[in-house]
Amino acid sequence: MRLAKYLAHGGVASRRKAEEIIAKGLVTVAGEVVTDPARDVGDGDDVRVNGAPVGAEAREVWAVNKPAGVVSTAREPGARRAVVELVDSGARLYPVGRLDADSTGLLLLTNDGVLANRLTHPRYEVAKTYRAQLARRPAKRELARLREGVELEDGPTAPAQVRPVGEREIEIVLREGRNRQVRRMVEAVGNRVVALQRIGFGPLVLGGLKEGEARRLSEAEVERLRAAGGDGAS
């Protein structure tokens, strides 16, 4: 692992700040000052910042049922609450993708950058499942267009799995991660989303997790997420 990333995972600072700390000559590896942030280090190396030892942070993955009004960021400079504040952990956690501030439901937080990338990169096509309440009952032609894919300002969407689950409610499964995609797709077919909840991310489902609550995933759940992201290795 590169030294800057190692420091970030160890909770010293963000990767960019870690690079600055390294450039200032404040980091030693095996007693020698290192100023190259790309220097490879491992768990067995004696890495220190200002003489204090640094250990790689244990990997954690959390599921959160995000309430409306909470933002999907690690830090929020404004008055709104950041989703990381809902998790009782000392690890440097970051959201895996995003949910709009006015959307609710399942959001993953982790300090495992490799896993986060695999779960969000378009090439791995990890499914995300949503429940959307619409302004009016969707016509059959609207559902058909959503299933086929619709044209948006940033290009056509991939086909989606869509099924009605109520008079004005649909369940939609996407394998893309564009900004406000569900809302924009529904608007493109002539309807409007009035409430949106994510209920599934890959093999993981929201289940009985209450709004505003978080739980740490088990090793088995994390391995299933890794498999969904194209990596069966731990």
Question: How do strand 161-164 and strand 169-174 relate by DSSP bridges?
Answer: antiparallel
Cα 4–chain centre separation: 22
Residue 156 forms beta bridges with which residues? 151
Backbone angles phi, psi at 146, to 5 degrees: -65, -40
Query: Which position among 40, 45, 88, 100 bears the catalytic label?
Result: 100
Nearest to 19 by CA among 41, 35, 33, 31: 35
Beta-sheet strands, E only, within 3-82: 27-29, 32-33, 47-49, 52-54, 61-66
Nearest to 9 by CA among 40, 54, 45: 54
Active site residue 40: no
Rounded CA separation 206/208 (Å): 6
Catalytic residues: 100
